[in-house]
Amino acid sequence: MVASIEDVARLAGVSIATVSRALRGLPDVATATRDRVFAAADELDYIASPFAARLASGRAATVGVVVPFVNRWFFAEVIDTVETALRKAGFDLLLYNLGDEAGRDRFFDVMPMRKRVDAVLVASLVLSDEEFDALASLGSPVALLGLERPGFLSVRIDDIQGAYQAVEHLLALGHQRIGLIGGDTDDPMRFTPPLHRRDGYRDALRDAGRAADPAAEVLGYFTTDGGSAAAEALLALPDRPTALFAESDEMAYGALRTIRRHNLRVPEDIAVIGFDDQAIAELMDLSTIRQPVAEQAVDITARLLAAIDGDIERTNVVLPTELVVRGSTDVTHSVY
């Protein structure tokens, strides 16, 4: 049926050990021998059985990637980039999609990646101490994308600073009353941004000498519909805000919809700024805070692979965000 290493060895006239060494590019193989081995492998269309190799070597040549969802912009982007980077390095990507709370519990209960990955990459999940312990107990390098924890590799943006930028921008435009559409900091699927982005919002207001107003902070649950409903509530306030900061672009879209339904103009009546800079933010002419997703993914993947190779550095990288001004806050930037 399919060729095994022995067939190659026979055809090349060497031992299987030499075949193994030659094919993997190890030293101590004469050039002529190596060529013969490659020729034989080629002729037989041979590739090594990964399972046998992994069993014998103890290396899985696989990285587990854990995400709460794959069908959301941020995570899809991460998976896309990480897969490409891993493939280039000769690693397989084993995907773990938590999905919901039950899936999350099951995952941390069973630890299904045990004995099958060399390293783990966790994307934007707020983890409990027990969950961190569970990951650490794998004994493999663990990398965090979108959050930080001593002892773990990580990359993230400064959510506080990003949110601060957004609110600062609105303040600079002269807005006096700025509403917040936020995420639920107690969500069981808790991903990381909500906490910090809200803090950035509050910090910016405080630094501008504004008093915090709990009524102006409404939950949008990081969904479009949630953002829509939140905007509804904010528009109904006696002292209506003139600007809204949504902790994600998705929620900002919902807010825009609501505002349009109320026949209010953006940004003249109400300005809106989001966070993330998804591809369609430009389409919606939405001002936002851009975070570099691919860069984060590339950075953490490279360092995770280094960690597999024994690099013991456990650094935490923070990449900058960038204010992107469009028509939803500044009419002079409008593309329409």
Residue from 31, 32, 51, 332 binding its own copies (CB under 8 A) = 51
Instruction: Cite the DSSP H helix spans in 45-182.
Output: 50-57, 73-88, 101-110, 129-136, 159-172
Residue 18, binding choice from DNA, its own copies, none, Cβ under 5 to 8 Å by partner class: DNA
Which x/- pattern over 277-316 shows residues binding its own copies (rule: CB under 8 A)? --xx--x---------------------------------
Q: Is 83 helix (H, G, I), strand (E, B) or coil?
A: helix
The whole-angstrom separation of Cα 62 and Cα 261 is: 49
Q: Segment near its own copies (CB under 8 A), from 16-24, 205-213, 236-244, 253-261?
A: 253-261
The pair of structure tokens assigned to 234 is 């904010």
Q: Is 59 helix (H, G, I), strand (E, B) or coil?
A: coil
Q: Would you count residue 17 as binding DNA (CB under 7 A)?
A: yes
Q: Segment near DNA (CB under 7 A), from 4-12, 99-107, 136-144, 220-228?
A: 4-12
Q: Is 124 helix (H, G, I), strand (E, B) or coil?
A: coil
Q: Which residue number, 28 or 186, has a Cβ lying nearer to DNA?
A: 28
Q: Would you count residue 21 as binding DNA (CB under 7 A)?
A: yes
Q: Which residue number, 16 or 195, has a Cβ lying nearer to DNA?
A: 16
Q: Would you count residue 116 as binding its own copies (CB under 8 A)?
A: yes
The whole-angstrom separation of Cα 300 and Cα 284 is: 31
Residue from 260, 264, 265, 269 binding its own copies (CB under 8 A) = 260
- The β-bridge relationship of strands 288-290 and 322-324 is antiparallel
- The β-bridge relationship of strands 153-157 and 119-123 is unpaired
Q: Which residue number, 88 or 206, has a Cβ lying nearer to its own copies?
A: 88
**Which 8-state DSSP code applies to residue 2?**
-
Q: Which residue number, 27 or 150, has a Cβ lying nearer to DNA?
A: 27
Q: Would you count residue 62 as binding DNA (CB under 7 A)?
A: no
Shortest distance, CB of residue 11 to its own copies, whole angstroms?
19
The residue among 190, 127, 187, 193 whose CA lies nearest residue 161 is 193
Which x/- pattern over 54-73 shows residues binding its own copies (rule: CB under 8 A)? xx----x--------xxxxx
Q: Which residue number, 29 or 170, has a Cβ lying nearer to DNA?
A: 29
| DSSP, residue by residue, 193-228 | HHHHHHHHHHHHHHHTTPPP-GGGEEE-TTSHHHHH
The whole-angstrom separation of Cα 217 and Cα 213 is: 7
Residue from 6, 42, 105, 239 binding DNA (CB under 7 A) = 6
Residue from 7, 92, 203, 213 binding its own copies (CB under 8 A) = 92
Q: Segment near its own copies (CB under 8 A), from 18-26, 30-38, 144-152, 249-257?
A: 249-257
Q: Would you count residue 140 as binding DNA (CB under 7 A)?
A: no
* 3-state SS, one letter per residue, for 269-314: CCEEECCECCHHHHHCCCEEEECCHHHHHHHHHHHHHHHHCCCCCC
Shortest distance, CB of residue 263 to its own copies, whole angstroms?
8
Q: Segment near DNA (CB under 7 A), from 29-37, 94-102, 131-139, 257-265?
A: 29-37
Q: What Cα–Cα distance (Å) separates residue 57 from each residue in 124, 152, 320?
A: 32, 25, 40
Q: Which residues bind DNA (CB under 7 A)?
A: 4-6, 13-18, 20-21, 23-24, 27-30, 32-34, 46, 48-49, 52-53, 55-59
